[in-house]
Amino acid sequence: MLQLKLKQTLDSGHNSSNVQLGDSRCVLVGHALSEAVKVVAALKVRSGPLLLTSEVRRRADDKHGGASLVPGWETVWDNRVAYCSHMRVLSSVSMCLSQVRLDANYFGQEMASAVENEAKCLMIPCVEQLEENTNPDLPLLFWFCRKNPLHFHFITDSIAQKILSALFHTWMVPAVRVAFYDADELKSEVSWIPNKHYSGIYGLMKLVLTKTLPSDLQKVIVLDTDITFATDIAELWAVFHKFKGQQVLGLVENQSDWYLGNLWKNHRPWPALGRGFNTGVILLLLDRLRKLRWEQMWRLTAERELMGMLSTSLADQDIFNAVIKQNPFLVHQLPCFWNVQLSDHTRSEKCYKDVSDLKVIHWNSPKKLRVKNKHVEFFRNLYLTFLEYDGNLLRRELFGCPSEADHNSENLQKTLMELDEDDPCYEFRRERFTVHRTHLYFLHYEYEPSSDGTDVTLVAQLSMDRLQMLEAICKHWEGPISLALYLSDAEAQQFLRYAQGSEVLMSRGNVGYHIVYKEGQFYPVNLLRNVAMRQVHTPYMFLSDIDFLPMYGLYEYLRKSVVQLDMANTKKALVVPAFETLRYRLSFPKSKAELLSQLDMGTLFTFRYHVWTKGHAPTNFAKWRTATMPYRVQWEPDFEPYVMVRRDSPEYDRRFVGFGWNKVAHIMELDAQEYDFVVLPNAYMIHMPHAPSFDITKFRSNKQYRVCLKTLKEEFQQNMSRRFGFAALKYMTADNNS
């Protein structure tokens, strides 16, 4: 309605300052961290810039029932804040960092002139490349605000789009819209510039913002993503009104001697005005830049300087400074506290000794959080304080603030409303529809499947208490792995530290770690399996569990079996026989002969032989002992082997959570779809001992848990009967006879 009113006013030629807010109200968060809503976009992308636009509707003055506006404002409506970010992270899919808090004083009289009828854009270029000495937690975006409609425009490649799409789809942050643009289409604009900076071609894309960003965006704040914002972003936006004359760039002076040329002998930097300016924080007047023919200006400058300099050392920053050197009237110098730089050669100490309120911290050293600085602990804590906050707070609409309804969120709420809250199994049924926040490729991943079409990915899921199994599995399985980890925000940081401290894990680039954040009271085992399965890029996948160690060489053995059993043209599920040990220290058998010897000695047992014989009995271990060729087995009730299947195999049924029937239902689905179960004669896996999980404890001690599981089981069987007709009757008959 507000947008319609304004459009009608503009179309009729009236000044938009006459538009009234009516009874629309929107309250943003105050400074108190205890009241802040953590706005986390764990933006791990492979490459490309991102633009985030926020359309903030101002609140009317409650005193006057919304008829009058906030003091000092004649018109307040649908102002837009845009955040842009250029992300360069290779396939490491590193994160980008900025903390942004929008405070209630954004609406005070002091800020009124800064926000009236303006489109605000905040551009955050991320050029972080994950290296051994780079913290992959940087950069990670934090916004502290209540209700601000946001519109993200991401310039990405296809991999980044996949990651970000999953992130925004699952995080379901209210009043957020997302659009994607192809970064490959922009590369030609800057690829002609030689660049020594580790950000590569992506470190130059800030130069083409006037051409890339929507033409109706008049102003933009540009931030590197190794930025920590420690104040109200509106204060920085207000600086636009201090621009005079032809000033179109707002920059902080560079806080090192780089452009003075005295850092080392024969150091020859690009030309700059005095100490030069750092482009980690930039205020851009896009409309004026376009009128000044910015594209032509920077291109001519770059071409001229490259004749002598041959390449840039600091990417876009060199070219910006060269332009300013020739046109000093373009720049408005910002106070130093808007970009406190922690580079290796920084002299920023003078800045934060002279001021009491630091606004922006810039981790512009390649070492990031590990930069050598005597005050680094203080700055580091500004960042680390917020990492472990619960990201689910992002979804909570604590205050009524007008925003467009999200289609997915509406459908979810409609589905949940249809559930009976008085149903004793309500929590089980609700879990099936819970959308867990998901962060794909949490760590570096880079793998190309083999060209022969036989490659296999091991698929598993785990929680924090099984973390110790990762190194052992990596030692046993040299092929690609797709893991879904069920963690809280705090545990995700613990996992990160664990992984970074492990030589085994850091040496593997073919392990995809996908974080599914905790929500609800049940362990969503089948959701986790599905998340890991969806990230498989090989033709085949081995569906395992985290407590199992595959035999040495199983990866290659399965690949050979793909050819031997014509997996590409048949529907087969290759069964890997499962064994277990009760010993925490095991001399792992290196061959089938050694395994049989340990089986005879009582060191090993067939898996769950003493508590759940039916689960693996159809494997026919007696036949397997002497088998030299693969053999087919029939489905039987409660059969739940570990199998290798094609990537297009059906997913797990999400209704089963926690303990019980999660794998049984999947194997039943495979059988209903006429998969043949073929046991491999020279393959095996061994289950390692561990403490009982929380869910199995609940299953054993809680009668209602068992009742609900039985109910879900019956509903699944009925669903199978509807889907597969007469052929599915055997599943119900078998259950009745068991």
Per-residue confidence band for 31, with pLDDT thresholds at 50, 70 and 90: very low
Question: Per CATH, which fold does 2-383 belong to?
Answer: Spore Coat Polysaccharide Biosynthesis Protein SpsA; Chain A (3.90.550)
Q: Tell me, what's the pLDDT at 84? A: 33
Per-residue confidence band for 47, with pLDDT thresholds at 50, 70 and 90: very low
Mean pLDDT of 472-492: 96
Cβ-based neighbours of 414, under 8 Å, separated by 6 or more: none
Fold equal for 2-383 and 438-737:
yes
Identify which has the larger pLDDT, 302 or 122.
302
Domain ranges of the chain: 2-383, 438-737
Q: 572-576 and 642-646 as β-strands: parallel, antiparallel, unpaired? A: antiparallel
Report residue 467: phi and psi, to 5°: -60, -30
Q: Tell me, what's the pLDDT at 257? A: 84
CATH numeric code, 438-737? 3.90.550.10
DSSP 605: E
Q: Tell me, what's the pLDDT at 246? A: 93
- Which two tokens mark 493? 């940081």
The percentage of residues in the chain with a pLDDT greater than 70, rounded to a whole number, is 76
Per-residue confidence band for 734, with pLDDT thresholds at 50, 70 and 90: low
Mean pLDDT of 399-419: 64
The radius of gyration of the chain's CA atoms, rounded to the nearest angstrom, is 29
- Poorest-confidence range of 299-303, 365-369, 427-431? 365-369
Length of the chain: 738
Per-residue confidence band for 733, with pLDDT thresholds at 50, 70 and 90: low
Mean pLDDT of 255-272: 83
**With the CA atoms of 389, 390, 391 and 396 taken in that order, what torsion angle do they form, in degrees rounded to the nearest 10?**
-120
Q: List, as one string, the DSSP characters of 666-705.
A: HHHHHHHTT-EEEE-TT--EEEPP-PPPHHHHHHHH-HHH
Mean pLDDT of 276-297: 94
- Which two tokens mark 167? 């992130």
Q: Cis peptide before 139, with omega less than 30 degrees from 0? A: yes
The pLDDT tens digits of the residues spanning 84-97 come to 333 322 222 222 22
pLDDT at 349 over 90: no
pLDDT at 618 over 70: yes
Pick from 608, 715, 632, 719: nearest CA to 669: 719
Mean pLDDT of 663-676: 93
Burial of 65 (0-12, 13-18, 19+ CB in 10 A): exposed
Q: Tell me, what's the pLDDT at 669? A: 93
Most confident of 9-13, 233-237, 335-339: 335-339
In angstroms, the CA 134 to CA 500 distance is 10
Identify which has the larger pLDDT, 299 or 260.
299
DSSP 653: P
CB 90 within 8 A of CB 446: yes
Averaged confidence pLDDT in the chain: 76
Q: Tell me, what's the pLDDT at 610? A: 80
In angstroms, the CA 409 to CA 613 distance is 43
